Structure 1
Amino acid sequence: MVNAYAAFEQGGVLQPFEYDPGPLGRQQVDIQVEYCGICHSDLSMIKNEWGMTQYPFVPGHEIVGIVAEIGSEVTTLRVGQRVGLGWYSSSCMHCEWCMGGDHHLCLSAEGTIVGRPGGFADQVRADQSWIVPIPESIDSAVAGPLFCAGITVFQPIIQCGVQPTDRVAVIGIGGLGHLALQFLNAWGCEVTALSTQPDKEAEARRLGAHHFVNTRDPAALQAIANSCDYIISTVNVSLEWSIYLNALRPKGRLHLVGVAPDLSLPVFPLLAGQRSISGSPVGSPATITKMLNFVARHGLAPQTEVFPLAQVNEALEKLRSQHPPYRLALKC
């Protein structure tokens, strides 16, 4: 039996929950969970904001643990290996997206917390293809957020072909943005932090920003016009997007990873400057592996506060009401 914490109704507090995972599939793996990050997506699923939550609902998709058991056809992992699991737990492995290396775009991909129990538990199960070994130098206590927040901001670097010579700006210095600053600085880019909170300047520079712009200052925004090759937005609020479009150089790109409620832009600056707009979710297992190796090589890490699993509701409340600056995780 698996011991977990679950919400039994929409928006409910999490309570102890026990379930039988059933027989292990031939290509499935059981992970003994050590740590699990807490994400805003977990809050959204608890409240059924996306209309796809099934109760009892066990959150948790930033999972770090040890392989406890493997199916008879598992060839890529071994019992005792330290691994991680993110937003997806399986994909079909034969569609054009899986075969092309974009497993995260598979139309039948299974979410780790969608229609199945997630990682706020002592054990979680997934297909071998989505379980990724973790390099030794990465601390288990902070590795979990890399499997959601980390890959969310690393995927665009790969997808969009960001170059070390590029001048890149990051909108929002929070759970996603603080990782984007670290990644882009280590990638070799000239990095600008864009934030509504001027008191974050020193922290942003410590994380890797070469420049800081208070976006509440119209003059400061005007000063960066036509200066960025690439802008990544990590925020989930509406902005005056035309200002950021104006900050792009010709052929520049505005890329969204934060779920902003809307996007309204003038078309002419797109056409005249041959600029573009794009977005992305997480990434494939191969890109996750590349990110972990990159993080290990450069000694990067999410700034993470850890709670014991028994204090899961306190941790969720902190995420919900206090807006912690970066990431939270549970020790399971």
Structure 2
Amino acid sequence: MTAPEPSAVRTVNAYAAQSASTPLAPHPITRRAVGPHDIQIDILYSGVCHSDVHQARSEWGPSIYPLVPGHEIVGRVTAVGEAVGKFKVGDLAGVGCLVDSCQHCDACAEGDEQYCENGATPTYNGRERESREPTYGGYSTEIVVKESFAVRVPENLDLKAVAPLLCAGITMYSPLRHWKIGSDHKVAVVGLGGLGHMGIKLARALGADVTVFTTSQGKAADALALGAHQVVISSDQAAMKAVRNSYDFILSTVPSAHDLAPYLKTLRRDGQLVIVGALEPVGVNGMQLVSHRRSVAGSNIGGIAETQEMLDFCGEHGIVADVEMIEMQDINTAYERMLKNDVKYRFVIDMASLKNQ
């Protein structure tokens, strides 16, 4: 059988949610033809993010169904458009949370496409800027994407463990770089999960002294094994009092509303607490800020250039995520386990299981 032309519209295997209350199931989707500036990627691995669950269940506002999740994508380039200069067939490539932006606002001009003032286009649960067709994510065998929104993947890294870097990795790397964290900083990471474990590895590689705040004594050994210098049980009032005014920088990965007060007290004068997890209201005590000129900020993934920088940094330092491999057919069980925090620390789908079905 002759393979279809790489520039043709293609129907490919995928898994999709048909509504907020139905499990993910097989659903063929159409990928657009490869345009002059596009690359076509044969997806090898797709990471599973908590946001996949939220959007499949329409918990962040009305979702577009059928919804094909997945924004931690690693694969091989199988076709390139005539104007593509960044990739060639056979290259490793990755796609993260974005596949387009307006490219002309101040944020885009400064390499912060994730903050596009006209709305960045998400890898899934969005709409293509030109055609207004829905975007479909990495729970599929192939993807076609603009070369400017794909990143090169270092050949020396374990590919399956690279996939979560495209979301969890850049989510933690971007604030560390923005606030110029290095060897003269004491950093604390709140929470030890998919985000937190990457925060430990990246902050440690940047030379920082790293502490993990966790409510679970059972996670202490894991945190130290991942590279933390110290673990503090945040429910232990005496332990928290002992580290008051200790940290320059705190990354909070807690995904729900939580009390910032205990952590703010551990910041030094001019220290920053950056929220990367919670998308819900969080309370702030003004006295705890003004008394030490502390600040609270937020950070959202990273731009394409910064994502490439993060991958290159990980390649140089041998950093990847700790992953548990699953087959595509096990995704609904994985979602239930993830909601119970029953994964160390990120699920990754072997897409061969979808190609072979």
Give the TM bin, normalised by the shorter chain. Answer: over 0.9
RMSD: 1.4
Shift of 1:214: 0.6
Instruction: Quote the residue 2:125 is aligned against.
Output: 114
Higher mean C-alpha deviation, range 5-14 or range 138-147: 5-14
How many Å apart are 1:322 and its aligned residue?
5.2
Counterpart in 1 of 2:242?
223
- The answer to whether the aligner puts 1:313 opposite 2:324 as a matched pair is no
- Give CA-to-partner distance per residue, 1:84-114, whole Å, 9 cap, x none: 1011011222221111121221133110012
Aligned-partner residue type, residue 309 of structure 2: K
1:68–1:80 Cα contact (<8 Å) kept: yes
Structure 1 contact 3–18 (Cα < 8 Å) conserved: yes
Residues 199 and 22 (structure 1 numbering): CA distance in 2 closer, same or farther, change over 3 Å? closer
1:22 aligns with 2:32: yes
Match of 1:118, SS? coil
Distance in 2, matches of 1:3 and 1:114, equals: 17
Q: 1:62 is matched by which residue type in structure 2?
A: E
Counterparts in 2 of 1:330 and 1:241: CA distance versus 1, 3 Å: same
Tell me which residue corresponds to 1:40: 50
Number of residues paired by the alignment? 332
Q: Which of 152, 157, 161 is equivalent to 1:138? A: 157
Partners of 2:42 and 2:344 in 1: CA distance: 29
**Residue in structure 2 matched with residue 86 of structure 1 by the alignment:** 96
Q: Name 2:83's counterpart in structure 1.
A: 73
| Offset at residue 71 of structure 1 (A) | 2.1
Report the counterpart of residue 151 of structure 1 in structure 2: 170
Query: Where in structure 2 are the equivalents of 1:195-274 lying within 5 Å?
Result: 195-259=214-278, 261-274=280-293
Classify the secondary structure of the residue corresponding to 2:87.
coil
Corresponding residue SS for 1:176: helix
Which residue number corresponds to residue 193 of structure 1? 212
- Give, in angstroms, the shift of residue 323 of structure 1: 3.0
Per-residue CA distance 1:218-238 (angstroms, 9 max, x = gap): 000011100111111011133
CA distance in 1, matches of 2:28, 2:241: 56
Cα deviation code 1:173-231 (max 9, x no counterpart): 11110110111111111111100001111111111111110111100001110011111
TM-score (norm 1): 0.96
Name the CA distance, whole Å, in 2 between partners of 1:227 and 1:92: 42
| 3-state secondary structure, aligned to 1:114 | coil
- Offset at residue 313 of structure 1 (A): 2.4
The reply to whether residue 277 of structure 1 matches residue 296 of structure 2 is yes
Determine the C-alpha separation between the residues in 1 that align with 2:234 and 2:29: 48
Q: Is the 8 A contact 1:235 1:260 kept in 2?
A: no
CA distance in structure 2 between the aligned counterparts of 1:195 and 1:324, rounded to whole angstroms: 16
1:40 positional shift = 0.5
**Could you say what secondary structure the match of 1:220 adopts?**
helix
Structure 1 distance, partners of 2:39, 2:268, is 47
| Corresponding residue number in structure 1 for 2:148 | 129
Identity %: 36
Aligned letter for 2:29? Y
Do the aligned residues in 2 keep the contact of 1:87 with 1:111 (CA within 8 Å)? yes
Report if the CA contact (8 A) 2:257-2:278 is conserved.
no
The CA deviation at 1:297 is: 1.4
